[in-house]
Amino acid sequence: MKNKLLLFLLVLVILFISHSPIIAADYEDDEYEEEIVVKKTTSATKWRAGLGFGIPYGVLGVNFEIGLNDLLSLCAGIGIYPSGNDVDNFGDLEIGYSVGGRIYFAPRKSHFRPRINLLRGTVAINKSSDSFIEGFAPGLGFDWKVSRKLGMDFDLLYPIYDQPKGTHQEGGAVKISIGFGYYFGKIAKKAVIVEEEEIEEELEEDEEEFEEE
């Protein structure tokens, strides 16, 4: 009789231990702890200033750009261009400008970002009247980051404007623009824990199963 009673008590102890919620929870935490993944993300700065020549820089000058999001940005440029009787030898200097937007095909953190330019401003110079010509300048180009803070610009633009009578266009219809840019601000980095909600749901489901048993 004593042997049967001891055996019965031993079985009860084993069942109690195996179904204990405290021990089960500890086991689950150990099992799922390794499944939590830490993901590092980078957020690139959206401010940029550059030096160069071409339509985005007001002929020869600076260009400023601010990113609205990863793929859209607004930009403006101001620069100088020669005018006067001695245009070929850089006579008087006048002010040129450009304003517009850019559509990118890659996020800001990418090293190579192809883009579409949609600009308006100084697109040509009328040498006969010593004045600049305003118009539109759509085109294709890219921003190539050579480091975290420095990048190179290259664009091919097609000026659209009303050509004055009695004048002719010098050079090709497509204009080249080249410049170098500097990215302002800090490169933000943060760590995000992912899959945490999924793990909590799995723990809740397992707890319900243990309770049912």
Name the nearest CA neighbour of 132 among 181, 89, 183, 98.
Answer: 98
Residue 102 lies in a domain: yes
According to DSSP, residue 88 is labeled G
Token pair recorded at residue 144: 């190539």
Give the total number of structural domains in the chain. 1
Q: What is the mean pLDDT of the chain?
A: 75
Domain annotation covers residue 36: no
Average pLDDT over residues 186-209: 55
Which residue range forms the structural domain that includes residue 180? 43-187
**Is the model's pTM score more than 0.75?**
no
Residue 1 lies in a domain: no
Q: pLDDT of 105-161, one tens digit each?
A: 999 889 999 999 999 999 987 777 667 889 999 999 999 999 888 999 999 999 998
**Is 77 contained in some domain?**
yes
Instruction: Indicate whether 29 belongs to any domain.
Output: no
Give the Cα separation of 128 and 80 in Å (integer).
18
Cβ–Cβ < 8 Å for 167, 129: no
Give a yes or no: residue 90 inside a domain. yes
DSSP 158: -
The answer to the question of residue 178 being in a domain is yes
Residue 155 sits in a domain of what CATH number? 2.40.160.20
Contact present, 134 and 99 (Cβ < 8 Å)? no
Task: Give the pLDDT score at 132.
Answer: 81
pLDDT at 87 over 50: no
Residue (of 141, 123, 120) closest to 132 by Cα position:
123
Is 142 part of any domain? yes
